[in-house]
């Protein structure tokens, strides 16, 4: 492991590409190895025990590439199984989207009322509220699970009236709770950011955990002298456990560019 080693990033599926995109923008000279567990996606509606098993598998796959750090791009894993990831890669740093998003939200809120939206598993774990209150116990956290946002994003219902109606259904109550900051606690949600913002109305800052984790990664690599000295722009190395027909369309949706080479790995 050295400065030229890759940054390992994993997610339950393709949603974590929002993190890849943010890392590329912040750190264009870093090599990235990304694993998406597309054969077992989604993790959000599954149990803690299953999510912890999958997190260990995903970490083991990335460790084959001797990364200099691991980013858990999956909020569900960040919420329920970050210690499993840390245990599976002993000596290298691990960053989860959750703590990075929580930290940025705490910096941004003025009225100490933060909303968090995520999958059923993330919201039920209460992990965002815990992470936020570790930083500032006076902050009130209001959470809302939005389970249909992932399939809507994956089906490309981006500006569709159905998505608007689903957003109304999920966000009507949280909108009345006086929050000034909302964390998008799932890597798919930035795809639906526009409809979420329109539904919330003005005056609420949106925290995209992907951007928050990219800031934290730059900080950490810089502090520990692990920034890649190269001046070449690197293309991410993409691994998935399944390659369904619509994968290429989804990649385009998340990354805004055509699909690069992708390798299949067995889980």
Binding site for a copy of itself (CB under 8 A): 38-40, 45-47, 49-50, 120-121, 124, 147-148, 150-152, 154-155, 157, 160-162, 165-166, 169, 241-246
Q: Which residues pair with residue 71 across a beta bridge?
A: 9, 95
For residue 142, give the nearest of 97, 182, 94, 88 by alpha carbon: 182
For residues 192 and 196, give the distance between their C-alpha atoms in angstroms, rounded to a whole number. 6
User: Closer CB to a copy of itself, residue 109 or residue 241?
Assistant: 241
Q: Residue 144, CB half-sphere, CA atoms under 13 Å: how many?
A: 23
Spot the catalytic one: 89, 124, 146, 186. Answer: 186
CB of 151 to a copy of itself, least distance (A): 4
Q: Where are the alpha helices (DSSP H) in the chain?
A: 17-26, 48-63, 75-80, 82-88, 97-108, 120-125, 127-135, 149-154, 161-175, 193-200, 209-223, 247-255
* CA-atom Rg of the chain in angstroms: 17
Closest approach of Cβ 195 to a copy of itself, in Å?
Answer: 13
Q: Is 74 tagged catalytic?
A: yes
* Residue closer to a copy of itself (CB basis): 36 or 67: 36
In whole angstroms, the minimum distance from the beta carbon of 61 to a copy of itself comes to 16
Q: What are phi and psi of 205, to 5 degrees?
A: -80, 135
Give whichever of 10 and 54 is closer to a copy of itself, judged by the CB atom. Answer: 54
Residue whose CB is less far from a copy of itself, 47 or 222: 47
Closer by beta carbon to a copy of itself, 120 or else 136: 120
Identify any residues that bridge with 117 across adjacent strands, giving them in sequence order.
144, 184
Catalytic residue among 74, 89, 124, 146: 74
For 140, counting Cβ atoms within 10 Å of its Cβ (0-12 exposed, 13-18 middle, 19+ buried), the class is middle
Active site residues per annotation: 74, 186
């Amino acid at each position: 492991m050295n400065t030229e080693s890759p940054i390992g990033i994993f997610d339950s599926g393709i949603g974590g590409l929002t993190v890849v995109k943010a890392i590329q923008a912040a750190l264009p000279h870093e090599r990235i190895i990304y694993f998406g567990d597309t054969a077992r996606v989604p993790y959000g509606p599954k149990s803690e025990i299953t999510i912890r098993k999958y997190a260990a598998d995903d970490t083991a796959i990335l460790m084959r590439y001797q990364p200099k750090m691991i980013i858990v791009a999956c909020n569900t894993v960040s919420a329920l199984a970050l210690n499993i990831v840390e245990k599976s890669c002993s000596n290298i740093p691990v960053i989860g989207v959750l703590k990075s998003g929580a930290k940025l939200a705490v910096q941004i809120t003025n009225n100490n009322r933060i909303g968090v939206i995520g999958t059923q598993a993330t919201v039920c774990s209460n992990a965002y509220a815990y992470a936020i209150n570790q930083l500032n116990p006076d902050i009130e956290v209001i959470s809302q699970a939005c389970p249909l946002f992932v399939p809507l994003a994956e089906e490309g219902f981006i500006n569709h009236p159905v998505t608007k109606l689903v957003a109304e259904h999920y966000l009507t109550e949280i909108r009345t709770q006086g929050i000034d900051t909302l964390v998008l606690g799932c890597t798919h949600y930035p795809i639906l950011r526009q409809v979420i913002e329109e539904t919330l109305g003005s005056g609420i800052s949106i925290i995209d955990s992907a951007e928050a984790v990219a800031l934290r990664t730059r900080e950490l690599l810089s502090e520990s002298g692990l920034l890649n000295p190269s001046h070449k722009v690197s293309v991410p190395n993409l691994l998935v456990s399944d390659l369904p027909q619509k994968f290429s369309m989804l990649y385009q949706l998340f990354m805004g560019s055509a699909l690069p080479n992708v390798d299949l790995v067995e889980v």
